[in-house]
Amino acid sequence: MSLQKFLSSLDELLDDAKQSLDEVGSSEQLENLRVRFVGAKNGAIKAVQKLMGAIESEHRPVAGKRFNEVRDAIQSALDLATERLGGASKAVKDPQMDPTLPGLRPQLGQLHPITQTIEHLKDIMGRLGFSVTEGPEIEDTWHNFVALNIPEDHPARDPLDNFYLAAASKQLQNPTDRDAMLLRSQTSTVQIRVMETQSLPLRIISLGRVYRPDAPDATHFPMFHQMEGLWVDKNVSMAQLKSVLRLFATSYLGSDVKVRFRPSFFPFTEPSVEVDYWWNGNWIEFGGAGMVDPNVFQALNIDPEQWSGFAFGLGVERLCMRRFGIVDIRDLYRSDVRFLRQFAS
């Protein structure tokens, strides 16, 4: 094919396109023209482009340049006509698109009920003057037992009741090893950590996970959360302990809640109590509490003649379940969003 002939067919194509696009009156017609001129399969531009292969190679640069100009000019004419007819022809053509329909609501995440409970507890205790501290979940036996006055032969240290870590076989033979590490079985470890590092007086809570090898059932799970509280000052009394736990209970469960303290025993508190709340027709045990044992103070070089304190540890899952009406602790940890979504914050 001669260069001349190629160029004149390009000119004809451009004239044709310009004229048709100038006159186009509806989006349907415009769409037809678009297919006719720039359609990817059988469009006129595509057809002319194919002719280029038949042009002598010395003329190809000229032919190619003109081809590009014409192609761009047709595209601009198309864009202009599209604009003149009020936007993209596709949208107007597609009857399924209804811009007046309400949008799709995006699925938003939310806080897990336990996280919501933790935030709530921090808020209540914050108003009672307790600041929040954290401690590690992997602990040594010093913080989990020794400093808490739990003697070496105490059943609480039994390997069957704890998740000892690393060199497990060695520790199973000798669970009293002072260097043994374990997943903490109680947040009371944080009592020791704050008394080691902070100056007195202090008033803290610490919320976090604890681990015990319990078989899961409706009320047990091998991992759960506790809220530990510790108040150390001059002349802190059992009366204050009871007031704080009463105030906490009424703030969290409502003013009709009843609180009962039963005598109990913990190696790190003396005297010790168990705390029950009367709620919805039942006494429910929520945790333990007591006055910090002098042995604990002594292990930390704190003079028990000068300082006194109380400590408590409450089960966060129980508090959460009571409030949200959840009856099986395992439901909290199945990660079933259909269940969890019910407890929107």
Cβ-based nearer residue to ligand PHE, 180 or 296: 296
Angle between helices 316-324 and 238-253 (to 10 degrees): 30
Element at 139 (helix H, strand E): strand 138-140
The tokens 């006509």 sit on which residue? 81
| Minimum CB distance to ligand PHE smaller for 44 or for 210 | 210
The set of residues, in sequence order, having a beta carbon less than 8 Å from that of 281 and lying 6+ positions away, is none
**Beta-carbon neighbour count of residue 12 at 10 Å?**
12
Give yes or no for residue 175 binding ligand PHE (CB under 6 A).
no
Q: How far apart are CA 111 and CA 216, in angstroms?
A: 24
Choose which of 27, 290, 308, 319 interacts with ligand PHE (CB under 6 A).
290
Instruction: Give 214's DSSP letter.
Output: P
Question: What does the per-residue mask of binding to ligand PHE show for 135-174, with x meaning CB under 6 A?
Answer: ----------------------------------------
Q: Is 309 in the site for ligand PHE (CB under 6 A)?
A: no
d(C-alpha 239, C-alpha 231), whole Å: 13
- Residue with structure tokens 């336990």? 114
Q: Does residue 208 belong to the site contacting ligand PHE (CB under 6 A)?
A: no
Cβ nearer to ligand PHE, comparing 114 with 205: 205
| C-beta of 113 vs 290, nearer to ligand PHE | 290
Stretch that binds ligand PHE, among 131-139, 235-243, 285-293, 328-336 (CB under 6 A): 285-293
Min dist CB 272 to ligand PHE, Å, is: 6
| From 55, 289, 291, 319, residue interacting with ligand PHE (rule: CB under 6 A) | 289
- Give the residue, chosen from 33, 207, 227, 311, that forms a contact with ligand PHE under the rule CB under 6 A: 311
Place of tokens 């996280």: 115
Phi and psi at residue 124, to the nearest 5°: -65, -50
CA-to-CA dists, residue 227 to 87, 103, 255, 313, angstroms: 62, 43, 21, 5
* Residue 308 in the binding site for ligand PHE (CB under 6 A): no
- The residue whose Cβ lies closest to ligand PHE is 313
Binding site for ligand PHE (CB under 6 A): 186, 188, 266, 269, 272, 287-290, 311-313
